[in-house]
Amino acid sequence: MRRRHAARLFLSLLLILGTGLSAVAQSFDTRARAAYVFDQTTGTVLLEKDADVPLPPASMSKLMTLYMAFEAIAQGRLQTDERLQVSEHAMSYGGSTMFLDTTDRPTVEDLLRGIIVLSGNDACAVIAEALSPDGTEAGFARLMTERGREMGLTNSTFVNSNGWPAAGHRMSVRDLGVLADHIITDYPTFYPLFAEQEFEFDGRAPTNTRNRNPLLSLNIGADGLKTGHTEEAGYGLVGSAKQGDRRIIFVISGLSSTAERAEESERIVNWAFRQFVQRGVTEAGTRIAEAEVWMGAQSTVGLTVTEDVELLMPVLDQEGITAEVVYTGPLEAPIEEGAEIAELRITREGLPDVNLPLVAESAVARGGFGQRVRAAAFVLLHKVAPEADLSALPGGGA
């Protein structure tokens, strides 16, 4: 009789899970219209608020233009010292700009800094036209949407390269968080540009030289990524910070002022690092539980993980963390060493559940004739008299 089992966990794992951990992630009530907070180190989502609603992203959507520029450089389609032409269309942009005109030939490196530090709408358009198959910003925006879908940005549609207000130009805060994760992970050599606090292009924009990210000067580990603001979108920020071995990524949108954006961003960073801790749960090779075996040379097999397991946990209280091992059994022999045969499920109240594969600690050969007869007798008797105590029969299973 095969059915779902919850195997008995060994005490050592339970002690690890039950020491100094919290039942509930400390609540965080953000004033942002939408928010997404992600612990990149452990892959844990800490906060979601309207995370999948497509909203006007303002200049935060410039991150997609930057990602595609980094990609083009990595593929050899752009060079950082290459000089690009400035079109009438690019020059026509208002708002935050590098004050480019059609006589300029800025380098790709200047344009990247102009986008990251100065939030240059014109710089985005120059990059877009250079990479577009038809030489237009609209053509590049279509590529942005297609590439975004490939990267998992399921709630993003781009109409331009810079977030200038336009019907249909939308991103969710989760998509912005996923995009930030890609930038940090895929292009670490370019990521330090996001921590630059000042850039001046050719001395022509003395009033627009400072990075608008309010966290960069606070000494809290913040090192990116991009602010955004339009009347429709409100004030937003895609941010990241690293303290010790942990890195978080967060996105907030729809705040009412630069002051509120700065305050909310700092609150999120402090909350994410102070209210959660990365803890070791178990080490590779440690026996976590045993599973019952059918028709085997032995009646049980040890279950273990193949890698060290570290999880993010709330820091307070000592209840609310549960763990169980689930498998469909009894498991029929033979079983190969290292075969994936069960799952460890860890529930953390207020945080997403974690499911980890468990493998056989050792091989289990098929049992001899006598063992198989006893196991068959167990099943027969169990069907006739299920209340009978046949636990002493080797090779049996419940």
Instruction: Enter the tokens of residue 262.
Output: 């700065």
**What's the length of the chain?**
398
Along the 398 residues of the chain, how does pLDDT read in single tens digits?
A: 445 555 555 534 443 444 333 333 447 899 999 999 999 999 999 999 999 999 999 999 999 999 999 999 999 999 999 999 999 999 999 999 999 999 999 999 999 999 999 999 999 999 999 999 999 999 999 999 999 999 999 999 999 999 999 999 999 999 999 999 999 999 999 999 999 999 998 876 566 789 999 999 999 999 999 999 999 999 999 999 999 999 999 999 999 999 999 999 999 999 999 998 888 888 888 898 888 898 888 888 999 998 888 888 887 754 567 888 888 878 888 989 999 999 988 887 778 888 899 999 999 998 765 555 555 555 444 444 444 343 433 333 33
Where is the binding site for substrate, in residues? Answer: 226
If asked whether residues 153 and 9 sit together in one domain, one would say no
If asked whether residues 88 and 220 sit together in one domain, one would say yes
**Of 255, 274, 293, which one is at a domain's C-terminal end?**
274
If asked whether residues 376 and 248 sit together in one domain, one would say no
What is the per-residue pLDDT for 373?
52
Contact predicate 352/44, CB 8 Å:
yes
380 belongs to a structural domain: yes
Measuring CA to CA, which residue among 183, 202, 218 is closest to residue 68?
Answer: 183
Tell me the C-alpha distance between 358 and 374, whole Å: 28
Task: Select which of 62, 96, 132, 253 is catalytic.
Answer: 62
Let me know if 59 is a catalytic residue.
yes
Strand order in the sheet with 222-230: 44-49, 34-39, 246-255, 234-243, 222-230
Other CB atoms within 10 Å distance of the CB of residue 330: 25
What's the whole-model pTM score?
0.81
Q: What are phi and psi of 199, to 5 degrees?
A: -150, 130
Per-position b or e across 65-74, b if 16+ CB within 10 A of its CB: bbbbbbbbbe
If asked whether residues 192 and 258 sit together in one domain, one would say yes
Q: Which domain holds residue 174?
A: 34-274
If asked whether residues 212 and 353 sit together in one domain, one would say no
Let me know if 242 is a catalytic residue.
no
Q: Does residue 334 have a cis peptide bond before it, meaning omega lies within 30 degrees of 0?
A: yes
If asked whether residues 61 and 172 sit together in one domain, one would say yes
Let me know if 383 is a catalytic residue.
no
What is the per-residue pLDDT for 9?
59
CATH number at residue 324: 2.60.410.10
Task: Select which of 22, 59, 61, 265 is catalytic.
Answer: 59
Which residues, in sequence order, are bridge partners of residue 328?
4
Q: Domains in the chain: how many in total?
A: 2
Where is the binding site, in residues? Answer: 226
25 belongs to a structural domain: no
Task: Select which of 22, 61, 87, 119 is catalytic.
Answer: 119
CA distances (Å), origin 84, targets 111, 160, 161, 189, 302:
9, 19, 16, 22, 63
